Amino acid sequence: MSEEFKSGFISIIGRPNVGKSTFMNKVLGQKIAIMSDKPQTTRNKVQGVYTKDNAQMIFIDTPGIHKPKHELGEHMMKVARNTLRETEVILFLVNVAEEIGRGDEFIIDMLKNTTTPIILVLNKIDLVHPDQLIKQIDVYKDKLNFSDIVPISALQGNNIERLLEVIESHLPPGPMYYPADRVTDHPEHFIVSELIREKALHLTSQEIPHAIGVEVEKMKAENEGDKVHVQATIFVERESQKGMVIGKGGKMLKEIGKLARVDIEHLLGSKVYLELWVKVQKDWRNKKNFIRGLGYKD
Ligand code: GDP
Ligand code: MG
Ligand code: K
């Protein structure tokens, strides 16, 4: 009897200091270099990919949602909402040792019309008496219809396994979006591909954005302290689009590379040599696996 493989995207939300990074570290272990909190634009940020024998969970940050409302532009709100709608599960982390605050209420407000399953994660149970935990459950239960409520201690690792089971129960059958051995160790590949895609989208004309996908094939420095050599391919669907992305005499591709390199250097904190290729791959948009693998969220 073979069990079907399950996979999906999971949004992690919660106000600052509730323990989101601690939780991710606990789940992913030391193996993965999680992206630190770099200044971010509107893209989704992969926090980490957790792969086990029968499932893959891709945890993503939801840009903007941690900020108070007045700091959010229309566009950011839209991006946050779309992200929440498009992920399979939402993890809403709160600090059980503190009273519910304005930041929590803001997030709850934002989640009100979401149909995506929302798991309330009551973190830092190591800091409270069981009575306090029960009281907190009552407070939050009245605020929103959570599909599950799971108390954990991210710091001590309590009940993390249970939370992973609950997440898995919400995942649909799906492919392994990220090869367990490669990207699990390099969530940066995804971010870097997003940076390149972002530049390509901004610089090229309106008619091709949806046809662009980027895959990072290589990202390494020969020696400690050397420039990081990033090699990536921009996929388009038609020859004509290839022409647009490359531009006259390669001018467009050069510009895309120049802008992307600056961001990648900022992200990695080191000098980068960026090598970009453009390839036509027909119908890549129809291959969901491929699309998701490239980080494109439709
Ligand atoms: P983030 O801003 O949501 O990513 O929060 P962090 O993961 O950076 O955690 C903020 C602080 O809370 C850090 O000092 C953590 O060590 C602490 N923390 C996180 N989880 C727990 C927990 O389960 N118990 C306790 N006691 N502290 C925690
Ligand atoms: Mg954090
Ligand atoms: K994306």
Helix, strand or coil, per DSSP, at residue 231: strand
Structure tokens at 31: 């193996």
Same domain, 150 and 214: no
Give the sheet arrangement for strand 213-220, strand by strand: 213-220, 228-236, 272-280
**Residues contributing to the annotated binding site for GTP:** 14-21, 61-65, 123-126
Domain assignment present for 181: no
CB 48 within 8 A of CB 187: yes
Whole-number Å distance, alpha carbon 292 to ligand 3 midpoint, is 9
**pLDDT for residue 46:** 64
Q: What is the ipTM of this complex?
A: 0.96
- List the domain range (segments joined by +) for residue 280: 188-293
The binding site consists of 14-21, 61-65, 123-126
Give pLDDT, residue 253.
97
pLDDT of 215-235, one tens digit each?
Answer: 888 888 777 678 889 999 998
Could you give the maximum distance between any two Cα atoms of the chain, in Å? 70
Collect residues with CB below 5 Å from ion ligand 2. Answer: 20-21
Q: pLDDT of 93-108, one tens digit each?
A: 999 999 999 889 989 9
**271 backbone dihedrals φ, ψ, rounded to 5°:** -70, 145
Residue 54 burial (CB count, 10 A): 12
Q: Does residue 236 come out as left (phi exceeding 0), alpha (psi in the -120 to 50 range) or beta? A: beta
Of 169, 200, 219, which one is at a domain's C-terminal end?
A: 169
| Residues 12 and 154 both lie in one domain | yes
User: Any bridge partners for residue 276, and if so which?
Assistant: 232
Q: Does residue 164 sit in the same domain as residue 192?
A: no
Pocket test for ligand 1, best of 11, 13, 17, 59 (most atoms within 8 A of CB): 17
Count of structural domains, the chain: 2
